[in-house]
Structure 1
Amino acid sequence: MSAIEIKKGVYWVGAVDWDIRNFHGPSYHTQKGTTYNAYLVIDEKVTLIDLVDLHFVDDMINNIKEIIDPSLIDYVVVNHVEPDHSGAFPKLMEYIPEAKVFCTKNGKEGMLHYYFGDYNYETVKTGDKLNIGEKTLEFIEAPMLHWPDSMFTYIKEVALLMPNDAFGQHLASSHRFDDENDLCEVMEEAKKYYANILMPFNPLVLKKIQEIQKMGLEFDMIAPSHGIIWRTDPGKIVEKYLSWSQNETKRKAVVVYDTMWNSTQLMAKAIVDGLISEGIETKLYRASKSDVNDIMTEVLDAKAVLIASSTINNTMLPHLAYLLEEMMGLKPKKKIGAAFGSYGWGKGAVKNIEKKMKETGIELVKEGLEIKYVPTEADLKTCFEYGKEIGKMIE
């Protein structure tokens, strides 16, 4: 992809990664690829804000060369140290060894640990400003969104906010802006990104947005570090972040199960029918055939979470154990739930699921439902009523 001017004197010079399918190790599945967004600001002091992954350093350098000789860059702003945003740093600095590098105090510590070199670092904090000519960069610390070093950069003169990992999505596209893409797809990927990366930091996300609002920063474009750039109505994604960070939920349930010989599957379908009969939007997933990131995306705004498994070796099937570990790490709040499942000669799955759900913070509102071997018609009716009763509790 070539460089693109996104605001007067501000250029996207990043890279598109069409091939990546796993992010943060194996924990985030990026079926639609991603981008690494870097932004070049042409002014009296030429400034590069954010970088790209090491494997795409040549893409970034070539994009910069379309606009200016890389050796003419005066300043580098590192909003976030994570290697997908800073990996190209050492190679870039071969062109500009004397350039000033701006980051938070934690950012400097991280950069020293990753890249070791004796670079010209200058640490900044919220409210600090850097005049680069006609434009002024303002820095806003954003610790734990989603690393301790994270910060935002704001350019008042062009009403542009560059928040690095906030408001992003893992989405590769031949187009850079929201209105050039399928907005439903973009918003769904933004939701997935939030659910699987930022959900544990809900209170901090809410506090940071409220802080920015109090600062009176006006912007008509948000340029994150991954995915597309919000220019049509950036307020929409801010509103979504406010909703998600406050744990707002819908009349919605997510049912996740796994099964050995389909008995638990039969239970799950009957319970789903019961939920639907109460007008509850319901999503059903078989854990061994579903993407855990997709499941957590639906959990984000669901009021109820139901988890079910056949019993094996006195406990749950392994895909559900993995899901529950992920859920414990992501810390969804204000959820109600229940566990159910089938068993043969011995129980154990439901008990262990309930234990993990409690540790996650889900409020169990029904005693676990267990059925031996294959559910009868009467059992399935019990399951249907079980779903109806939980449906009535969902507001």
Structure 2
Amino acid sequence: MSFKITDAVTWVGKRDWELRHFHGQEYSTHRGSTYNAYLVQDEKTALVETVWGPFAGEFIEQLKSVVDLSRIDYVIANHAESDHSGGLPELMRLIPEVPVYCTQNGVKSLKGHYHQDWNFQVVKTGQRLSLGARELIFIEAPMLHWPDTMFCYLTGEDILFSNDAFGHHLASEGMYNDLVDPCALMEECIKYYANILTPFSAQVKRKIEEFAGLGLPLKMICPSHGTIWRDNPMQIVKQYLTWAGNYQEHQAVIVYDTMWNGTRRMAEAIAEGMSQADPSLAVKLYNAARADKNDIITEVFRSKVLLVGSPTINRGYLSSIGGFLELVRGLGFKNKKAAAFGAYGWSGESVRLMTAQLNEAGFEVVNDGIRAMWNPDGDALEQCRAFGRGFGQGLTV
């Protein structure tokens, strides 16, 4: 159901309570999500974004209940990814001549998705579109998180339609940040940043500074997913600046997989050693084959050190660790230490190979790792505790 944000702006999006995975199966959405679309009505009417394709029919019917489609003068496509643009084909079939405002890369991407030559109007940063008493100001935001991404700002209402930036996957009946559980909200925000925006932290910082340089007042941030920031919207902007600065907390994360529990026992012994050396250090363990991969990535983002463990199998490491290492390689974490560990029976290549992967992924690999043959005995576990103590002593608050 739609609702008024201001006298001129109406939310016409879709809450997706059932969504549990996003980007195919790549991103877990434990709390669902929303696809936020906004209708701006002045002398002219502009629609900012649509919804994901499976909800296009619902979206069109809801939109018709708010405005006669023939009265829509402009469609704003801030981003061409399907969760934003999926309602466009059905909408444009009904209003084919209405101009679609997007970046040059947006034209390429939308044509690539839908193979339609709509009435595209290419915009650049600083360009304005008059709606009457209000204007939309366009702000290109490439690689936040696609090349085509842009924001737009509504004068008179002081609203930034920020697309994926400052968003999160959280379905809620109360669509404002002051109406949801603040702990759940921030948990979803940091997960979103860690898993999606980490590789683009430099661009995040530059774009925030660029927007600040425009000197535009800000009353609300309306992202494309999750809740609307109306209570102190600058809090999430400041948080993004913190996260963009090679973020870390006083935490270590140990990620492992195990076959016959030898590597698990090593992981637990290493964790004991870390805690012995520094009781203030938060140490978290995750079995990569059983825990949610995006939740693990969030904890890596928050940590100073990552330890990765796997036994050797077929002269390599277990597949869950292979997938995990590929995730961290792509995210390009900065300012984090790492090492590898694992049990083995005869050839024992896993630690060497994982060490090479961690080095390639940009971690500061501090040593060659630690191995234990077969099922680690008391002496081997004590060596693991000493290994952990070395890390704990090397991490300062």
Q: TM-score range by the shorter chain?
A: over 0.9
Q: Distance in 2 between matches of 1:330 and 1:62?
A: 39
Q: Secondary structure of 1:169's match?
A: coil
Q: Distance in 2 between matches of 1:386 and 1:218?
A: 52
Matched residue, 1:339: 340
Matched residue, 1:281: 282
Q: Distance in 2 between matches of 1:180 and 1:63?
A: 23
Asked if structure 2 preserves the Cα contact closer than 8 Å seen for 1:254 and 1:302, the reply is yes
How far does the alpha carbon of each residue in 1:179-205 deviate from its partner, in whole angstroms, 9 at most, with x for none?
111111011111111111111111111
Q: Secondary structure of 1:253's match?
A: strand
Matched residue, 1:87: 86
Matched, 1:327 2:333: no
Matched, 1:108 2:110: no
1:293 deviates by 0.5
Asked if structure 2 preserves the Cα contact closer than 8 Å seen for 1:136 and 1:156, the reply is yes
1:93 deviates by 1.5
1:8 deviates by 2.6
Q: Distance in 1 between matches of 2:109 and 2:314?
A: 44
- The letter for the 1-side match of 2:296 is I
1:381 deviates by 1.9
For residues 1-395 of structure 1, the aligned pairs below 5 Å read 2-277=1-276, 278=278, 279-395=280-396
- The letter for the 2-side match of 1:297 is T
Q: Secondary structure of 2:223's match?
A: coil
Q: Distance in 1 between matches of 2:337 and 2:224?
A: 34
How far does the alpha carbon of each residue in 1:82-137 deviate from its partner, in whole angstroms, 9 at most, with x for none?
11111111211233222121111111122222233332211110011111011110
Q: Distance in 1 between matches of 2:387 and 2:215?
A: 50
Asked if structure 2 preserves the Cα contact closer than 8 Å seen for 1:156 and 1:219, the reply is no
- The letter for the 1-side match of 2:292 is D
With normalisation by structure 1, the TM-score equals 0.97
Q: Distance in 1 between matches of 2:350 and 2:391?
A: 20
Q: Which moves more between the two structures, 23-32 or 194-203?
A: 23-32
Asked if structure 2 preserves the Cα contact closer than 8 Å seen for 1:72 and 1:96, the reply is no
Q: Secondary structure of 1:288's match?
A: coil
- The letter for the 2-side match of 1:28 is Y
Q: How many residues align?
A: 394
Q: Secondary structure of 2:289's match?
A: helix
Asked if structure 1 preserves the Cα contact closer than 8 Å seen for 2:355 and 2:368, the reply is no
Q: Secondary structure of 1:250's match?
A: coil
How far does the alpha carbon of each residue in 1:272-314 deviate from its partner, in whole angstroms, 9 at most, with x for none?
1222231211111011111111111111121100001111112
Moved over 6 A (4+): none
Q: Distance in 2 between matches of 1:265 and 1:62?
A: 53
With normalisation by structure 2, the TM-score equals 0.96
1:5 deviates by 1.0
Q: Secondary structure of 1:119's match?
A: coil
Q: Distance in 2 between matches of 1:98 and 1:268?
A: 61
How far does the alpha carbon of each residue in 1:225-251 deviate from its partner, in whole angstroms, 9 at most, with x for none?
011111112112112211111112111
Asked if structure 1 preserves the Cα contact closer than 8 Å seen for 2:352 and 2:368, the reply is no
- The letter for the 1-side match of 2:148 is D
Which blocks of at least 5 consecutive residues in structure 2 are unaligned? none
Which blocks of at least 5 consecutive residues in structure 1 are unaligned? none
Q: Secondary structure of 1:26's match?
A: coil
